[in-house]
Amino acid sequence: MNAKRTRIIAFGVFIIVTLGVVLSRFYLNVQNEHWDSKRTAVETAFEKSIMTKAVKVDFFYGEEPFRIVYGEDKLGQDLIVWVSDKDVHTEMASESFTEDQVRDVVMKKNPDAEIERIMPGKLDQEYVWEVFYKKINDSGTRYFYDYYKFKDGSYIDTWRLSLQ
């Protein structure tokens, strides 16, 4: 009876370890493309802009997909680089509207908004701040995208999504 119990426990441990290895390999394979895209964006930003240190990479999916690389130049000044398959565009953070300033504008305009995300992007030919937020009212939850010019924060447009 004791040997049978030991074999069952050993087999259970084997199954759990095997499942752990298989799931971790699956996760790594799924994430590799994402990580490669981030790595490529940073390398491109280093090669085609004055960026020398990258801090973060975001993905913007608009008419043209961009990887947004946040970082610094050799003097330690903050900058943002838009990297697409066709183009690389750089802006100094000190010469533009900030994320906090955009947040303040949205909250003054919509005090009941719950901001989900603020990120740089591109709308038509304009580099922008894209603000994704939701508002809850009696008829349900509605999501919005607001767009503001990256340089001066002037309002461009609001896209309203269907009720959920």
Q: Does residue 60 carry a pLDDT above 80?
A: yes
So what's the pLDDT on residue 162? 75
Q: For residue 67, report the phi and psi dihedrals to the nearest 5 degrees.
A: -105, 125
CA distance 76 to 91: 14
Question: How far is C-alpha 102 from the geometric centre of its chain's CA atoms?
Answer: 17
Mean pLDDT of the chain: 91
pLDDT for 80: 96
At residue 127, the pLDDT reads: 96
pLDDT grade, residue 1 (50/70/90)? Answer: low
- Of the candidate CATH numbers 3.10.450.40, 2.40.10.10, 3.30.470.20, 3.30.70.600, the domain formed by 99-163 belongs to 3.10.450.40
Q: Between 2.102.10.10, 3.10.450.40, 3.30.43.10, 3.40.50.1000, what CATH number should domain 2-94 receive?
A: 3.10.450.40
Work out the pLDDT band at 140, boundaries 50, 70, 90.
confident
Cβ neighbours of residue 124 closer than 8 Å, sequence gap 6 or more:
63
**Segment 130-158 mean pLDDT:** 92
Identify the CA nearest to 120 among candidates 80, 87, 88: 80
Claim: this prediction has a pTM higher than 0.75: yes
Q: What pLDDT, in 10s, does the model give residues 82-132?
A: 999 999 999 999 999 999 999 999 999 999 999 999 999 999 999 999 999
User: Where are the alpha helices (H) located in the chain, listed in sequence order?
Assistant: 2-48, 99-109
